[in-house]
Chains A and B, each alone.
Chain A
Amino acid sequence: MSLSTKPATFFTTAVVALVLACATIIPQVYAAPNGESTVEQVMKNGVLRVGMSTFVPWAMKDKTGKLMGFEIDVATRLAKDMGVKVQFIPTKWSGIIPALLTGKFDIIIGGMGILPSRNLKVNFSIPYDYTGMSMAASTTLAKDFSGLEAFNQKDVVLSARLGSTGVAAIKKYLPNASIRMFDDEAQAFQEAINGRVHGVVSSAPTPAFQAIKHPTKLFLPLKENFTREPIGFAVKKGDFDTINFLNNWITYVTSEGWFKERKSFWFETRDWEDRLN
Chain B
Amino acid sequence: MIQQPPRLKLFDLLIFALVAAGLAWLMGAITAQSHYNWQWEVIPQYLLRLDDATQKWVPGMILTGLFITLRISFWATLSALVIGTIMGAMKSGRSHYLKMVATAYVETIRNIPVIVWIFIFYYFLGDIIVPLTGLDRAVNMNEGLLRQFLTTFVSDPSLLPVFFSATASLALYEGAYFTEIIRAGIESIEKGQWEASSSLGFTRFQQLRHVILPQALRRMLPPMAGQIISTIKDSSIVSVISIQELTFQGMELMSATFLTFEVWLTILALYFIVCFCCSMGVAAVERRLTQNM
- Is chain B a partner of chain A in the same complex? yes
> Which A residue sits closest to B101, measured CB to CB?
A15
A12 at the interface (CB under 8 A from B): yes
- Contact yes or no, A98 B123, CB < 8 A: yes
B152 within 8 Å of A by Cβ?
no
Say if the beta carbon of B287 comes within 8 Å of chain A.
no
Q: Residue B254 at the A interface, CB < 8 A?
A: yes
Q: Assuming the A-B contacts A12-B100, A16-B107, are A186 and B124 also in contact, with contact meaning beta carbons closer than 8 angstroms in the complex?
A: no
Q: Are B120 and A23 in contact (CB under 8 A)?
A: yes
> Do residues B104 and A15 form an inter-chain contact, with CB atoms below 8 A?
yes
Instruction: Name the distance in Å between B259's Cβ and chain A's nearest Cβ.
Output: 8
B 212-258 contacts with A by CB, 8 A: 239-242, 244, 248, 251-258
* Count, chain A residues at interface, CB 8 A: 55
The answer, yes or no, to whether B125 is at the interface (CB within 8 Å) is yes
Give B178-218 as 1s and 0s: 1 = Cβ < 8 Å from A's Cβ atoms: 00000100010001001000000000000000000000000
Q: Are B242 and A90 in contact (CB under 8 A)?
A: yes
User: Are B257 and A30 in contact, with the CB atoms below 8 A?
Assistant: no
Distance, CA A65 to CA B242, complexed state (A): 16
CB-based contact B260/A61 at 8 Å: no
* Nearest chain B residue, comparing its CB with the CB of A91: B242
- Verify A187–B254 contact, CB threshold 8 A: yes
Q: Are B254 and A8 in contact (CB under 8 A)?
A: no
A99 in contact with B242 (CB, 8 Å): yes
**Chain A hits for B107, CB < 8 A:** 12, 16
Please tell me if A64 contacts chain B, counting CB pairs below 8 Å: yes
Nearest-Cβ distance from residue A83 to partner chain B, whole angstroms: 16
Closest Cβ of chain B: how far from A226's Cβ, in Å? 23
Interface string of A189-227 (1 = CB under 8 A from B): 110011000000000000000100110110000000000
- From A12, A27, A99, B103 is in contact (CB under 8 Å) with A12
Of residues A19, A87, A184, which shows the largest number of chain B Cβ atoms within 10 Å of its Cβ? Answer: A184
Asked whether B91 is an interface residue with its Cβ less than 8 Å from the other chain, the reply is yes
Q: Contact partner of A61 among B94, B240, B256, CB < 8 A? A: B256
Chain B residues lying within 8 Å of A92, measured Cβ to Cβ, are 239-240, 242, 251
> Which residue on B lies nearest to A217, using beta carbons?
B35
Residues from chain A with a CB closer than 8 A to the CB of B257 are 186, 276-277
Contact flags A137-168 to B (C-beta < 8 A → 1, else 0): 00000000000000000000000000000000
Max chain A CB contacts within 10 Å: which of B46, B103, B194, B241? Answer: B103
Shortest CB-to-CB span from A164 to chain B, Å, is: 12
A-B contact count (CB 8 A): 126
Q: Answer yes or no: B99 CB below 8 A from chain A CBs.
A: yes
Whole-angstrom distance between the Cβ of A190 and the nearest chain B Cβ: 5
Q: How far is the CA of A19 from the CA of B61 in the complex (A)?
A: 39
Q: Which residues of A contact B49 (CB under 8 A)?
A: 63-64
Interface flag for A238 (CB, 8 Å)? no
A45 within 8 A of B: yes
A120 at the interface (CB under 8 A from B): no
- A19-B108, A87-B158, A91-B242 are known contacts. Are A54 and B125 too (CB-CB below 8 A)? no
Whole-angstrom CA separation of A89 from B162 in the bound complex? 10
Q: With A3-B92, A8-B96, A56-B255 in contact, do A95 and B240 touch (Cβ < 8 Å)?
A: yes
- Report the minimal beta-carbon distance from B266 to chain A, rounded to whole angstroms: 14
Q: Does B128 contact A (CB under 8 A)?
A: yes
Given A5-B92, A56-B255, decide whether A103 and B45 contact each other with a Cβ distance below 8 A: no
Q: Contacts A12-B103, A64-B51 given: A26-B124 contact, CB under 8 Å?
A: yes
Report if A183 contacts B (CB, 8 A).
yes
Question: Is the C-beta of B34 less than 8 angstroms from some C-beta in chain A?
Answer: yes
Judged by a CB distance under 8 angstroms, whether A2 is at the interface is yes
A30 touches B127 (CB 8 A): yes
A7 at the B interface (CB under 8 A): yes
Residues of A near B158 (CB, < 8 A) are 87
In the complex, chain A residues whose CB is within 8 Å of the CB of B99: 5, 8
Asked if A170 CB lies within 8 Å of chain B CBs, one says no
A124 contacts the other chain (CB 8 A):
no
Q: What string of 1s and 0s marks CB contacts (under 8 Å) between A16-36 and chain B?
A: 100110010011001000000
Q: Is the CB of B255 within 8 A of A54?
A: yes
- Chain A residues near B256: list those with CB within 8 A: 54, 56, 60-61, 276
* Chain A residue nearest in CB terms to B253: A61
Between A and B, 12 residue pairs with Cβ closer than 8 Å are A3-B191, A5-B92, A7-B103, A16-B104, A23-B124, A23-B125, A45-B140, A56-B256, A90-B242, A92-B240, A99-B123, A187-B254
9 interchain residue pairs of minimum CB distance: A15-B104, A54-B255, A60-B256, A27-B124, A186-B254, A91-B242, A2-B94, A65-B61, A190-B260
Q: A3-B191, A5-B187, A92-B251 are in contact. List 5 more A-B contacts (CB 8 A).
A: A5-B99, A26-B128, A54-B252, A64-B49, A99-B123
